[in-house]
Amino acid sequence: INLGGKVIEIRSEEPVVFCYGFINPRICISASIVNSLSCHELKAVLLHEQHHLKAYEPIKLLLVKIISNALFFIPGIKNLTLQYAVFSELAADETATDNFKNKAPLAQALNKILAQKESMLIQKGLAISFFSQIIEERVNKLVDDNYIPKLKFGFIKLFSSMAALGVLALSVKFLYPSYNNFLPADNENDNCQGN
């Protein structure tokens, strides 16, 4: 699948697979995944990661997270970041399954990887809470041909915060009418060139 020199296998019992690197992205996969998957399942996983690699997803996700963290005060921004991650994963799944026509290998691989993660968490005595919205959306799409992911933008939070900012701006305007004295003048006679 034209990934020569782009895949790094690490010796790890942890089920790890991800795309990394900004300028020259690569795929990291653990030996435990390679050894537990069939050839078709492994190919599906690598095709999924290849999509992330070709789309330069690591740098895109970094930029999205930086913007999200910088604009933390905007309600719903974290939710938009999560939605971006969900659609990024679904796009990679679409590539790996030939537009969701051949879903079995990826679904079986995902099932095995999740079972390995669950087993590792149980061995470590940790709570099993890794089933995130991203995985849930991926599973739903792999199971149901007609499933359409739900967009959750939080328009109510966004609208209420914009309304609050508008009220704040109007209150500054009316409560502090001398505020306009601090703004630059449009009149050429008021400039400092003559001084």
Tokens standing for 24? 């020259």
φ, ψ of residue 7 to 5 degrees: the values are: -115, 130
Q: Per-residue pLDDT for 178 more than 70?
A: no
pLDDT per residue over 30-69, tens digit each?
999 999 999 999 999 999 999 999 999 999 999 999 999 9
The Cα-based distances of 103 to 37, 40, 96, 138 in angstroms read 15, 11, 8, 11
pLDDT per residue over 86-103, tens digit each?
999 999 999 999 999 999
DSSP string, 2-70: --TTTEEEE--SS--EEEE-SSS-EEEEEHHHHHHS-HHHHHHHHHHHHHHHHTTHHHHHHHHHHHHHH
Which residues have CB under 8 Å from 29's CB, separation 6+?
7, 8, 9, 10, 16, 17, 45, 46, 49
User: Which residues are paired to 17 by β-bridges?
Assistant: 29
Q: Per-residue pLDDT for 10 more than 60?
A: yes
The amino acid that residue 131 corresponds to is: F
Q: Per-residue pLDDT for 111 more than 90?
A: yes
State which of 1-5, 74-78, 102-106 shows the largest mean pLDDT: 102-106
